[in-house]
């Protein structure tokens, strides 16, 4: 079965610093991969998605992710973090009938 | 345009009771999916409905059931509530019968005492 692993439960970065959230997937073929963000009062929001093609995908709010088949990874990056980016981030894989979420990484931003 | 709406926002039930949660998808969306998010974990897939038919079911007991109405709104029912059913229940809608572009509602917080 398809699955994703987020090894970091909690990450703290300073505002203005760069960010990388790790995600590893488990699937033989090319998976469909997503990053969602969950903020209090905002619900779950899709940041970006990867189906095939270019391995570097751009998303909303200045986020990007890179698909690396050799490392089975789909890490989320942002060059400069803003205080409003503090939230829970989920790496997600999908099939035709459902999404499978990772356990999430909580991002804390210090001023 | 309105997003996905869910009702009620919060709910407190006693063990053994039954509960019904409601979801209205974004206008034009025909697919609705339900997820359970226990505190500190990622959402877990429960059901997907498309055009009023069940298209997917997660690893949940038969106490969980759902249906989709002709207007594409949906209800999630949980019978014989257990303490472990306490969670945030999320509804998501999408245009096509697949999960790739899912839009989530704010959720219903269910507490079982």
Of the ranges A37-41, A57-61, B47-51, which one carries the lowest mean pLDDT score? Answer: A37-41
Residues in B closer than 8 angstroms to A98, CB to CB, are: 33, 45, 48, 56, 58, 99
Per-residue H/E/C for chain B: CCCCEEECCEEEECCCCCEEEEEECCCCCCEEEEEEECCCCCCEEEEEEECCEEEEECCCCCCEEEEECCCCCEEEEECCCCHHHCEEEEEEEECCCCCCCCEECCCEEEEEC
pLDDT at A36: 96
pLDDT beyond 70 at A49? yes
Q: Which residue of A has its CA nearest to B47?
A: A98
CB-nearest partner of A102 from B42, B90, B101: B42
Q: What is the pLDDT at residue B49?
A: 93
Is the confidence at residue A7, as pLDDT, over 70? yes
**From the CA of B21, how many Å to the nearest CA of chain A?**
17
Which of A12-21, A78-87, B4-13, B94-103 shows the lowest per-residue confidence on average (mean pLDDT)? B94-103
Partner-chain contact B99 A98, CB within 8 Å: yes
């Amino acid at each position: 079965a398809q699955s994703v692993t987020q090894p970091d439960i909690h990450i703290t970065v300073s505002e203005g610093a760069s960010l990388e959230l790790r995600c590893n997937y488990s699937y033989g073929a090319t998976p469909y991969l997503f990053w969602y963000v969950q903020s209090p009062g905002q619900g779950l929001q899709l940041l970006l998605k990867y189906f095939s093609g270019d391995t570097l995908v751009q998303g909303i709010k200045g986020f990007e992710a890179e698909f690396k088949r050799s490392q089975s990874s789909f890490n989320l990056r942002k060059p400069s973090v803003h205080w409003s980016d503090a939230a829970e981030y989920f790496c997600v894989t999908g099939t035709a009938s459902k999404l499978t979420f990772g356990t999430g990484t909580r991002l804390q931003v210090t001023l | 345009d309105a997003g996905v709406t869910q009702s009620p926002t919060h709910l407190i039930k006693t063990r053994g009771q039954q509960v019904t949660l409601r979801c209205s998808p974004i206008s034009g969306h025909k697919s609705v999916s339900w997820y359970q998010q226990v505190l500190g974990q990622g959402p877990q897939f429960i059901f997907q409905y498309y055009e009023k038919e069940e298209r997917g079911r997660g690893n949940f007991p038969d106490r969980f059931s759902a249906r989709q109405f002709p207007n594409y709104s949906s209800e999630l029912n949980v019978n014989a509530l257990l303490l472990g059913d306490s969670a945030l229940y999320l509804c998501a809608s999408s245009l096509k019968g697949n999960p790739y572009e899912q839009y989530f509602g704010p959720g219903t917080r269910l507490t079982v005492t």
